[in-house]
Amino acid sequence: MTAHGKTATASLVARASLARTWDIATPLTPVGYYPKSGPLPAVVEVRDQTGAWDAPGQTRRLLLSDGGWVIEHTEVVDRPHTFAYRLSDFQKLFGAIVEGARAEWTFSEVAGGTLIDWSYTFLPRRGAGPLVGAIVRVLWGPYMRRVLPGIVAAVEDGAGAYYPR
């Protein structure tokens, strides 16, 4: 994104090898892991996925609980270290205030497992920077830190089918 992007981050260690963490975390469907939280809608369905989510250039549409959607486009798939995708076609409030977003996951071996670093950068539309910044700081950053433990649990369980309780 640009220097004007608004970024949130989350990090956590999974007690699993680098390869296992990659193999479970990167193709994981967001349904069940991204619940509704305050004004942030849940991801309720994935449609139109163009591949196994394992190569640059693949796309999918995430349907949201508020009736909106967003399109994800894989950009970087560098197994087992970096996975990044661009988001476009936001609907509802985000469609009015952001041009797009970029998410990046990096995986690093550490003592006891794999460090997952997740960043999410929103590119505000002209004049929406302060509002997007507040949303990222107050809502999206804390949300990411609530979502990541469920993904780590799926990695540690090894099934990739864990849904937060």
Domain assignment present for residue 24? The answer is yes
HSE-CB at 130 with a 13 A cutoff on CA atoms is 1
Domain assignment present for residue 62? The answer is no
**C-alpha span between 36 and 43 (Å, rounded):** 8
Coil, strand, or helix at residue 134? helix
Domain assignment present for residue 97? The answer is yes
List per-residue pLDDT tens for the chain, 165 residues long: 445 899 999 999 999 999 999 999 999 999 999 999 999 999 999 999 999 999 999 999 999 999 999 999 999 999 999 999 999 999 998 999 999 999 999 999 999 999 999 999 999 999 999 999 999 999 999 999 999 999 999 999 875 543 343
Q: Nearest-CA neighbor of 144 among 110, 116, 109, 112?
A: 116
Q: Could you tell me the pTM of the whole model? A: 0.91
Domain assignment present for residue 165? The answer is no
Count up the domains in the chain and report the number.
1
Q: Nearest-CA neighbor of 23 among 80, 74, 72?
A: 80
